Amino acid sequence: MGTYEATSPSGRGSGPLGTRPGKIIAVHLSYASRAEQRGRRPANPSYFFKPSSSIGTSGGTVERPAGTELLAFEGEIALVIGTTARWVKPDQAWDHVAAVTAANDFGLYDLRAADKGSNVRSKGGDGYTPLGPGLIDARDVDPSSLRVRTWVNGDLVQEDTTAGLIFPLRQFVSDLSQHFTLEPGDVILTGTPAGSTVVSPGDVVVVEVDVPGTSVSSGRLHTTVSQGIRAFSDIGSLPEVDDKQRAEAWGTPVEEPAEEKAPSLSDELRAKLLRAPVAGLSAQLRKRGLNNVAIDGVRPNLPGSKVVGTARTLRFVPNREDLFKSHGGGYNAQKRLFDSVGAGEVIVIEARGDKGSGTLGDILALRARYLGAAGVITDGGVRDFDAVAATGLPVFSQGAHPAVLGRKHVPWDTDVAVACGGATVLPGDIIVGDDDGVVVIPPSLAEEIADAALVQEDEDSWIAEQVGQGRPIEGLFPLNPLWRERYEAWQKKQ
């Protein structure tokens, strides 16, 4: 089949098909790589329709409407039906496919909540289905040997072959023909592999379908993202974004909810740790052989503040330009953690002791404060230092630095073991900080350590009172048998 262009009555190109298709049917989830990313693997394919007015051509634009943020691309292999198909068997299905081409199944995640899976508005916008630029004759290719690749601004971001499909291409044709007649010119979008993510105005997305090792290719389908000037009105559903939509739009793996477990830090234990000084806790940890539990080199931005909470961890790796490009932008690990921190939790950041850039700023601090975080511990720097302090969120760091994250760090992963200020911190460890510093307490020892520290604090307070009255330290600090007898007698009177 040759490559040619035609223009629909609306003035929008109809791609290499020559006329608008009667139907565009798209597969929800079809590649194993995408299924792994989404955390669910379908037993059978499922579908949705896209309007024929969404067809676009290579070299065209796709508009991100005003007031929205999550326009995502999906590079796909498109099948063009050549002969009428109804109740066809899988082994005969490919005979009804005339051509294969490249497609980009754009979607606006801001409208997904309104569509409940139908994708009518989220994927039905004008130009949201560019096709082409050329057609590959289906008779010339093995449907199991095709490859799809996608580039954004010249960087390869998606690459997979039909060997990575959960369902073979023939199955889509056969399955759909059970339910309605597939007619010549109808298009089936066969799903996207992992790597789909959000694009912004000015970005150029390129998709190509080919047969590796040969000259067979659809050509490269170019689409430029533009910024719309018109926003949706309240005559219908308005854009709505939440953390799940952001994660899925940006391509973040969606984790299954963790099993409910008993909290390691009860209200009673938290109250004890708030009373216990870090110096006393450190002494009790040392008595039990734990000498490497102090987070060194950090100071509070709010002198006199006390931090008690369970650790949520964030690991930065040293900046490398290609890694920052892939992991530093968008809804990265840093933003995801600050968006998901729970009440009473402490964010602990591994920055390798490098204070040459900020590891958080005022916006993230505001978010953590709003969510009820107990504080942040970082062995790096803090940007917007005074503004962060003004939020009221206790932050322990190596001090202020004006540079942004990318000067030194790439946000890499969360809720893993980290090294902060020379101490290993595991998710769920108990963090306590005050003007003397920060210590890490294993949850299994926390109650014992807290009780012992409070006992010692009462004893030290009594000793300090005696010293303040002019008594010599010898025999008093630490208590010899005579002074201990006096102390215990005093205790009984209290």
Q: How far apart are CA 438 and CA 105, in angstroms?
A: 50
Residue-wise pLDDT tens digits, 442-465: 999 999 999 998 888 777 777 777
The SS3 of residue 215 is coil
Boundary-marking domain end, from 194, 227, 250: 250
**What per-residue confidence (pLDDT) applies to 4?**
30
Clarify whether residues 315 and 231 are in a common domain: no
Query: Does residue 417 lie in a domain region?
Result: yes
Tell me if 286 is assigned to a ligand binding site: no
Query: Does residue 493 lie in a domain region?
Result: no
Tell me if 362 is assigned to a ligand binding site: yes
How crowded is residue 33: how many other Cβ atoms within 10 Å of its Cβ? 17
Least confident of 192-206, 229-243, 373-387: 229-243
Tell me if 166 is assigned to a ligand binding site: no
Clarify whether residues 229 and 315 are in a common domain: no
Q: How far apart are CA 20 and CA 129, in angstroms?
A: 12
Query: Does residue 475 lie in a domain region?
Result: no
**What per-residue confidence (pLDDT) applies to 258?**
44
Clarify whether residues 330 and 242 are in a common domain: no
Boundaries of domain holding 64: 15-250
Boundary-marking domain end, from 250, 284, 307: 250
Query: Does residue 461 lie in a domain region?
Result: no
CATH number at residue 243: 3.90.850.10
Whether residue 307 contacts residue 269, with contact meaning beta carbons closer than 8 Å, is answered with no
Q: Grade residue 396 by pLDDT with cuts at 50, 70 and 90.
A: very high
- Residue 256 above 60 pLDDT? no
Clarify whether residues 413 and 361 are in a common domain: yes
Give every CB contact of residue 52 below 8 A, 6+ residues apart in sequence: 20, 21, 22, 23, 24
Q: How far apart are CA 484 and CA 494, in angstroms?
A: 15
**What per-residue confidence (pLDDT) applies to 263?**
53
Tell me if 458 is assigned to a ligand binding site: no
* 270 membership: H or E segment, kind and range: helix 267-275
Boundary-marking domain end, from 425, 441, 457: 441
Mean pLDDT of 200-213: 95
Query: Across all residues in the chain, what is the average pLDDT?
Result: 89
Question: 225 or 459, which is more confident?
Answer: 225
Tokens describing residue 276: 């216990």
Clarify whether residues 349 and 225 are in a common domain: no
Clarify whether residues 210 and 311 are in a common domain: no
Query: Does residue 402 lie in a domain region?
Result: yes
Tokens describing residue 59: 């070299």
Query: Does residue 259 lie in a domain region?
Result: no
Query: Does residue 460 lie in a domain region?
Result: no
Clarify whether residues 53 and 158 are in a common domain: yes
Give every CB contact of residue 437 below 8 A, 6+ residues apart in sequence: 278, 282, 294, 295, 296, 298
Clarify whether residues 47 and 186 are in a common domain: yes
Q: Grade residue 14 by pLDDT with cuts at 50, 70 and 90.
A: low
Clarify whether residues 245 and 298 are in a common domain: no
Query: Does residue 376 lie in a domain region?
Result: yes
**What per-residue confidence (pLDDT) applies to 7?**
33
Beta strands in 23-161 (DSSP E): 24-27, 47-50, 55-57, 60-66, 71-72, 75-81, 97-104, 107-108, 129-131, 136-137, 147-152, 155-161
Tell me if 429 is assigned to a ligand binding site: no
Least confident of 5-9, 53-57, 263-267, 431-435: 5-9
* 36 membership: H or E segment, kind and range: helix 32-38
Clarify whether residues 47 and 196 are in a common domain: yes
Residue-wise pLDDT tens digits, 300-355: 999 999 999 999 999 999 999 888 888 887 778 999 899 889 999 999 999 999 99
Tell me if 435 is assigned to a ligand binding site: no
Total number of domains in the chain: 2
Clarify whether residues 421 and 304 are in a common domain: yes
CATH number at residue 417: 3.50.30.40
Clarify whether residues 310 and 429 are in a common domain: yes
